[in-house]
């Protein structure tokens, strides 16, 4: 009885990324509450090398509201994770201090390796491939992208991260609405430079997670192969963000960085030479699963 009660505790993660801040609360692995805001911290990091005070204050207000909502939902253990903006901003420590005070819960900046590992755990908890099958998990975020190769049985065996994601690439090269083919080609060349020495083990399939992958799925379906990605690249090059949002039910904030996200997905696909299968799980799912396991074992 005691063990069943402990395993059913409500746990929550607030995930602060370069595009979004997200809250996920679960009980026994089932989502109870999910919220999202898009303060776009990565745009500040790309432009200024740090996060402006007013942007930190805006994000702290979001985090405070999410933490209150989590507690109102009966969350018994809440943690806050800061990903690439904490690592990349010159004032990442200031961001951590402000958000820790706002959330009133344990908070930390996580490294790229842990970010990729948690995305791997979360994706495979949903996708559930055979335990010994070697697969890749690709997590394209706003400020960075992680590729992890391993198996469900043995865990991650190989991992790499690049220090650019959909928000940073948008700010750098794709800020025009309907950026055009030349800008998309330049963005692809930029990402290819990050991947020039990338030599992952050959996986038997790749699962793509993150907001860019989920938005791409709305347009092209769950399987993103060479043909689907080529069609997506052409579409995002010539389509204003508002048209993408209206035509495919994509969040308006997400559609503004979708061209960059598709460029990054396409570049990794070329390295892996295997279709990308979009799945729901990701970093937050992995983080809440590990948090629940720690609480059950304490």
Distance of CA 281 to the CA centre of its chain: 10
Distance of CA 242 to the CA centre of its chain: 22
Contact 173, 182 (CB under 8 A): no
Report pLDDT for 293.
Answer: 84
217-246 pLDDT tens trace: 999 999 999 999 999 999 999 999 999 999
H or E element in which residue 125 lies: helix 112-127
Report pLDDT for 1.
Answer: 32
Report pLDDT for 298.
Answer: 58
**At 123, is the pLDDT very low, low, confident or very high (cuts 50, 70, 90)?**
very high
CA distance 157 to 259: 30
- Say if pTM beats, i.e. exceeds, 0.85: yes
Within 53-144, strands assigned E span: 77-82, 107-109, 135-140
Contact 39, 99 (CB under 8 A): no
CA distance 45 to 52: 9
210-222 pLDDT tens trace: 999 999 999 999 9
Contact 138, 209 (CB under 8 A): yes
Contact 180, 190 (CB under 8 A): no
Report pLDDT for 6.
Answer: 46
Q: What percent of the chain has pLDDT over 90?
A: 89
- The answer, yes or no, to whether residue 3 has pLDDT greater than 50, is no
Domains and CATH numbers, the chain: 2-110 (3.30.420.40), 128-278 (3.30.420.150)
Token pair belonging to 209: 């997670």
CA distance 104 to 160: 32
Question: CB atoms < 10 A from the CB of 58, how many?
Answer: 17
12-67 pLDDT tens trace: 999 999 989 999 999 988 999 999 999 999 999 999 999 999 999 999 999 999 99
Report pLDDT for 297.
Answer: 64
137-195 pLDDT tens trace: 999 999 999 999 999 999 999 999 999 999 999 999 999 999 999 999 999 999 999 99
- The answer, yes or no, to whether residue 292 has pLDDT greater than 50, is yes
Contact 208, 232 (CB under 8 A): no
What is the DSSP-derived secondary structure letter of residue 143?
S
Query: Cα dist. 298→6, 7, 190 in Å?
Result: 9, 11, 46
CA distance 192 to 275: 18
Report pLDDT for 215.
Answer: 96
Q: Report DSSP letters for 168-218, one per residue.
A: HHHHHH--SSS--HHHHHHHHHHHHHHTTT--PPPPS-EEEESHHHHHHHH
């Amino acid at each position: 009885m005691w063990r069943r009660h402990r395993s059913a505790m409500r746990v929550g993660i607030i995930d602060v990324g370069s595009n979004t801040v997200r809250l996920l609360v679960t009980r026994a692995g089932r989502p109870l509450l999910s919220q999202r805001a898009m303060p776009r911290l990565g745009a500040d990091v790309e432009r200024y090398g740090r996060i402006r005070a007013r942007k930190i204050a805006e994000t702290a207000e979001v985090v405070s509201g999410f933490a209150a909502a989590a507690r109102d939902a009966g969350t018994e253990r809440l943690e806050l994770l800061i990903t690439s903006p904490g690592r990349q901003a010159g004032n990442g420590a200031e961001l951590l201090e402000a958000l820790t005070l706002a959330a009133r819960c344990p908070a930390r900046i996580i490294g790229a390796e842990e970010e990729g590992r948690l995305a791997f755990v979360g994706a495979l908890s949903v996708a559930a491939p055979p335990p010994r099958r070697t697969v890749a998990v690709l997590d394209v975020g706003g400020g960075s992208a992680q590729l992890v190769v391993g198996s469900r049985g043995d865990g991650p065996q190989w991992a790499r991260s690049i220090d650019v994601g959909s928000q940073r690439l948008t700010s750098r090269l794709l800020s025009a609405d309907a950026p055009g083919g030349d800008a998309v080609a330049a963005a692809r060349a930029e990402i290819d430079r990050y991947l020039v020495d990338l030599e992952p083990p050959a996986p038997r399939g790749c699962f793509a997670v993150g907001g860019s992958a989920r938005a791409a799925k709305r347009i092209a379906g769950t399987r993103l192969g060479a043909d689907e990605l080529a069609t997506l690249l052409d579409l995002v090059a010539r389509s204003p963000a508002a048209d993408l949002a209206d035509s495919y039910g994509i969040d308006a904030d997400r559609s503004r960085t979708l061209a960059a996200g598709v460029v990054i997905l396409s570049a990794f696909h070329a390295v892996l030479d295997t279709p990308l299968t979009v799945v729901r799980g990701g970093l937050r799912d992995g983080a809440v699963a590990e948090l629940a396991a720690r609480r059950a074992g304490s």
